[in-house]
Amino acid sequence: MRSNEAIRERIGELESAYDEQDPPASPLEDEQEAVLLRAIEELEWVLEEREEPPLY
């Protein structure tokens, strides 16, 4: 399992890749942009889940 720091670093890398393709110049770049946004959202969700206290 990755540490929170590693996940935040990966989010930064994905955001940089997203910024490089903004605005998308082709349908392929548009599709890649959607994939990047989805990956960023999933990693942010992981961080949020880790920060919430357990529901015991």
Q: What is the pLDDT of residue 56?
A: 67
* Long-range pairs of 41-47 with CB within 8 A, sequence gap ≥ 24: 43/7, 43/10, 43/11, 43/14, 44/11, 46/7, 47/4, 47/7, 47/8
Q: What is the pLDDT of residue 2?
A: 83
Q: What is the pLDDT of residue 51?
A: 80
Q: What is the pLDDT of residue 13?
A: 94
Q: How many domains does the chain have?
A: 1
Q: What is the pLDDT of residue 21?
A: 81
- pLDDT digits (tens), the chain, 56 positions: 788 999 999 999 999 998 988 788 899 999 999 999 999 999 999 999 888 777 76
In a domain, 56, yes or no: no
Specify whether the CB–CB gap between 2 and 42 falls below 8 A: no
Specify whether the CB–CB gap between 39 and 24 falls below 8 A: no
Phi, psi dihedrals of residue 14, rounded to the nearest 5° = -65, -40
Whole-model pTM: value is: 0.77
**Parent domain of 25:** 4-51
The type of residue at 20 is E
In a domain, 30, yes or no: yes
